[in-house]
């Protein structure tokens, strides 16, 4: 259930063991022929007794609220991106070339300078409404980022890990906070492969009789971490010439999209070992052949 926060906190305060199940892994329940509370509880008890209960991570309350705030910020960023994409698509629909990249409208000053090139009043009004909402999203996102930065500076317990993440080119204050608060602790992942799978950086394979039967698990994992590492890989390319050369080497073997995915996967593994070994980002190891 989505409202497990209060129950987990209550059990923790009262010293009661709390078990949180992974709903997508419980095929024995949502794949059954009959389903009601009595049948579900019996199957849960059988899975617990047999050691087949798929556990989910019960995130502790100390960092949970800030993690949810970073997710809300990302929700607003995605909504703003939808509005920017709509403006760009409207230009394409009417075959009108924009003065510059539409993404520059994320800056408040560029919104004020933007001249709506459409003659139809309904289209102009539609673009005006998009710009109006973008202004509000810009203001709220800036407020959230300032608050998240303030909270991260007060978090003395995780200050060292945040500083480690910020040694990576392209990972700033907001992105480092997002990564750390989504991960919480790398100690909960027994191997780097488990961490990569949780962050959706690898695609699990399905095989039968030695033949590839496709891949699965596309909805299992943390999509916030997937976004964060993809964003970090793009920012790394902007700030590092070594990263650009490394991407060119990857593009000799893979298409550009696949090459970026390989780079984000490598960045995820680097972050895992940085937090595990308490070491700063080592560009020489990362870009080694």
Give pLDDT tens digits along the chain (289 positions).
Answer: 788 999 999 999 999 999 999 888 887 677 778 888 898 889 889 988 998 888 899 999 999 999 999 999 999 999 999 999 999 999 999 998 877 777 678 777 788 888 888 989 999 999 999 999 999 999 999 999 999 999 988 988 999 999 999 999 989 988 999 999 999 999 999 999 999 999 999 887 778 878 887 776 677 889 999 999 999 999 999 999 999 999 999 999 999 999 999 999 999 999 999 999 999 999 998 988 6
Token pair, residue 248, equals: 């060119």
Longest dimension (CA), the chain: 69
Query: Of the candidates 204, 224, 222, which has an alpha carbon nearest to the alpha carbon of residue 212?
Result: 204
**DSSP secondary structure letter of residue 34:** S
Q: At what angle do helices 121-154 and 61-93 cross, to 10 degrees?
A: 160
Distance CA 191, CA 197 (A): 10
Distance CA 115, CA 109 (A): 12
pLDDT at 217: 66
Query: Of the candidates 75, 67, 74, 76, which has an alpha carbon nearest to the alpha carbon of residue 5?
Result: 67
> Where are the alpha helices (H) located in 155-278, listed in sequence order?
159-165, 173-183, 192-198, 223-239, 241-251, 256-277
Q: What is the pTM of this model?
A: 0.87
């Amino acid at each position: 259930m989505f409202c497990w926060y209060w129950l987990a906190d209550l059990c923790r305060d009262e010293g009661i063991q709390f078990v949180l199940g992974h709903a997508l892994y419980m095929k024995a329940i949502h794949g059954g022929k009959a389903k009601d509370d009595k049948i579900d509880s019996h199957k849960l008890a059988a899975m617990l007794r047999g050691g087949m209960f798929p556990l989910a991570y019960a995130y502790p309350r100390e960092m949970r609220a800030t993690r949810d705030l970073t997710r809300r910020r990302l929700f607003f960023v995605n909504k703003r991106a939808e509005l920017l994409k709509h403006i760009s698509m409207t230009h394409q629909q009417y075959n009108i070339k924009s003065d510059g990249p539409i993404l520059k409208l994320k800056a408040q000053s560029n919104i004020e300078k933007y001249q709506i090139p459409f003659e139809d009043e309904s289209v102009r009004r539609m673009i005006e409404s998009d710009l109006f909402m973008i202004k509000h999203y810009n203001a709220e996102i800036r407020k959230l980022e300032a608050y998240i930065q303030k909270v991260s500076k007060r978090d003395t317990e995780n200050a060292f890990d945040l500083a480690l993440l910020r040694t990576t080119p392209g990972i700033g204050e907001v992105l480092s906070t997002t990564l750390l608060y989504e991960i919480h602790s790398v100690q909960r992942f027994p191997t780097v492969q488990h961490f990569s799978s949780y962050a959706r950086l690898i695609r699990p394979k399905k095989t039968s009789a030695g033949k590839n039967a496709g891949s699965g698990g596309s909805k299992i994992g943390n999509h916030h971490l997937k976004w964060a590492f993809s964003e970090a890989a793009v920012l790394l390319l902007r700030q590092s010439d070594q990263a650009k050369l490394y991407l060119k080497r990857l593009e000799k073997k893979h298409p550009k999209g696949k090459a970026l995915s390989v780079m984000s996967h490598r960045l995820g593994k680097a972050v895992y070992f940085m937090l595990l070994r308490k070491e700063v980002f080592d560009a020489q190891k990362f870009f080694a052949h």
